[in-house]
Amino acid sequence: MKKSPWLPLGLFLLLAFAAAGIGTLATFSSVDTWYPTLTKPSWNPPRWLFGPVWTVLYIAMAVAAWRVWRVGSAQGARTTFRLYGAQLALNALWSIFFFGFRSPLLALIDIAVLWLVLIRILARFREADRIASWLWSAYVLWVSFAFLLNAAIWELNR
């Protein structure tokens, strides 16, 4: 009996939205109280934009990782899964640092490391699957923007 290729996709999605859930929980404590008091750059996106963008990105990153996982060797699949898990942990930690600990500096350090991990993953994905690399590129671009926004907020509020 052949295993379903959809079960691993479900796992990648479950992990992505688990990270999103952790981030959301960390955000609740400060998004309506502390965050509005921060000075933000003029190019800060409206608050309503973050939810839809992240929802699309979590789906895209799960599909990208799943596509690469499917075409790789057993060792390559394990490496893809480990890198995917590492970036999800860094992703969730950003919300904990920024909103939970109310530390734009810790969040900035975290997002810099996250960006480096995402670039490493992008290079792997580009070799394995063109569609996966395009899906992942959207995530890299958003995190690049988020890094700049985080840096601006840190600079404006220190």
What does 105-139 look like in DSSP terms, one character per residue? HHHHHHHHHHHHHHHHHHHHHHHH-HHHHHHHHHH
Torsion sign (Cα): 17, 26, 140, 119: negative
Per-residue model confidence as pLDDT tens digits over 13-55 = 999 999 999 999 999 989 999 999 999 999 999 999 999 999 9
CA of 109: how far to CAs of 101, 105, 116, 117, in Å? 13, 6, 11, 13
Burial of 91 (0-12, 13-18, 19+ CB in 10 A): buried
Domains and CATH numbers, the chain: 6-38+50-157 (1.20.1260)
pLDDT of residue 1: 43
Give me the helix-helix angle, 104-128 and 130-157, nearest 10°.
170
Q: Which residue has the higher pLDDT, 132 or 3?
A: 132
Q: What is the pLDDT of residues 99-111, one digit of tens each?
A: 999 999 999 999 9
Predicted structure pTM score: 0.92
